[in-house]
Structure 1
Amino acid sequence: MKIKNLLLVSIFLFTISGFSQVTKKFIDTGSVSNQFDYLITKSNKYQVYKVVELNWLTKLKSNVLDSISESKNSILTNLSTIDSQKKTIEQLENSLATSEVTIQTLTNENQSISLAGIQLSKSFFKTLMFSIIGILIISLFFFITKFKQSNRVTIQTKETLKEVEEEFETHRKIALEREQKVMRKLQDELNKQKKE
């Protein structure tokens, strides 16, 4: 009977030790929050406390530190990306400002014309050119009119001169004939006086 009891006690002890030797495995997948929830729900209770296996705490600590390290790396990467994007934004803003200045300059140049080194707006330039052309056309008509008047006066003067020359020629011929007659008479008188 002793053997029976001994056998029974040893089976009982092996069974209890087998059950007590069964360790629960800690899940280390999922979010840190899920791991904490698992740790709290699966840990043993002692009075108002929770008894947590040391390897679970070590594994959780390692996972939390890894998550913190990944978060720090992610933050550093994001900060680096933000800095690079800020630099890119500044470059783009500078480029935009330069482009706007260039566009404004080109617009001003497009809306103005350089005349003798002076920038004039197109509307003022058009007004100036049309005024100059108008003045030149009016001057042309004025000079054409004056030329025609002068030409008329010149033609009349030539005709008058021709008439005066003809009158003068006629008068000269008459005067020459008269002078010849008078000279002839004088010569005749002189000849008469010599004979007498």
Structure 2
Amino acid sequence: MKRIFAVVVLVFVVFNSFAKKDINAWKQEQSLPSQYEVFKENLNFWNGSYFLKEDQLDDFYNALTDTIGVLEKSVEQKNTQIRNLNSEIGSKDAEMNNLQEQLDESLKLQNSIVVLGMKLDKNVYSVTMYLLIAGVLVLAGFVFLLYKRSLSVTRRTKKDYDELKEEYETHKKNALERYTKMNMELHQTRLELKKGSIKS
């Protein structure tokens, strides 16, 4: 019985080692790690070493380089996409900067006013106008005070003139009366002298 068992085990081991392995089974796998595992399982193994034919190695190498080529092509496509996206981002940044400059210019124009050919900020213009109006009001107040003072001086001068005129008229009238009176007295004295010289 032991012999039969040993023979069965020996036959099984020999059958397994000489059994036809599918050396192309790895080509059915989709991923590179699973292809490698199936490739390794279907190699001939003896005494800790793997044995393979040169065409098996060439096929696996071709599959490996094809996979690397596809991956490199995919990486190149992704790099191209990244460059395109970076270029698009750069153009969007430039467009955004241009729009920001236009917005700043628009705000500057909106907040400015043209006076005598000069662009002035509306706040500066408002402050200038308020100061100008305040200056005109102060000047008008000063002119009004000067006018009032001048009017007061004019009234006082006119009053003084009227008083002087009245005094002059009174003096003139008195002088005329005295002159007339003196002329009359002189005339009477002459008449009396003439009468007296006639008598003598």
Partner of 1:176: 176
Asked whether the 8 Å contact 1:43–1:51 carries over to 2, the reply is yes
The alpha carbon displacement at 1:177 in A equals 2.8
- Aligned-pair Cα RMSD in Å: 4.1
The alpha carbon displacement at 1:99 in A equals 4.9
Asked whether the 8 Å contact 1:43–1:52 carries over to 2, the reply is no
Whether 1:145 and 2:145 are equivalent positions in the alignment is yes
Identity %: 21
Partner Cα distance (1:120, 1:90) in 2: 34
Partner Cα distance (2:36, 2:190) in 1: 172
Partner of 2:12: none
- In the alignment, residue 178 of structure 2 is paired with which amino acid? R
Give deviations 1:2-39, integer Å, cap 9, x for gaps. xxxxxxxxxxxxxxxxx978956524231122111101
- TM-score of the aligned structures, taking structure 1 as reference length: 0.63
Partner of 1:38: 38
State the SS of the aligned residue for 2:45.
strand
Give deviations 1:36-92, integer Å, cap 9, x for gaps. 1101112223552323583x5555344323322221221221121122222223333
Asked whether the 8 Å contact 2:23–2:43 carries over to 1, the reply is no
Partner of 1:78: 78
Uncovered stretches (5+) of structure 2, i.e. residues with no partner: 1-17
Asked whether the 8 Å contact 2:22–2:42 carries over to 1, the reply is no
Partner Cα distance (2:85, 2:41) in 1: 45
**Aligned residue pair count:** 177
Asked whether the 8 Å contact 2:43–2:50 carries over to 1, the reply is no
Partner of 2:11: none
Uncovered stretches (5+) of structure 1, i.e. residues with no partner: 1-18
Partner of 2:52: 51
Partner of 2:63: 63
- In the alignment, residue 71 of structure 1 is paired with which amino acid? L
Larger RCO (CA under 8 A, 6+ residues apart): 1
Partner Cα distance (2:178, 2:30) in 1: 152
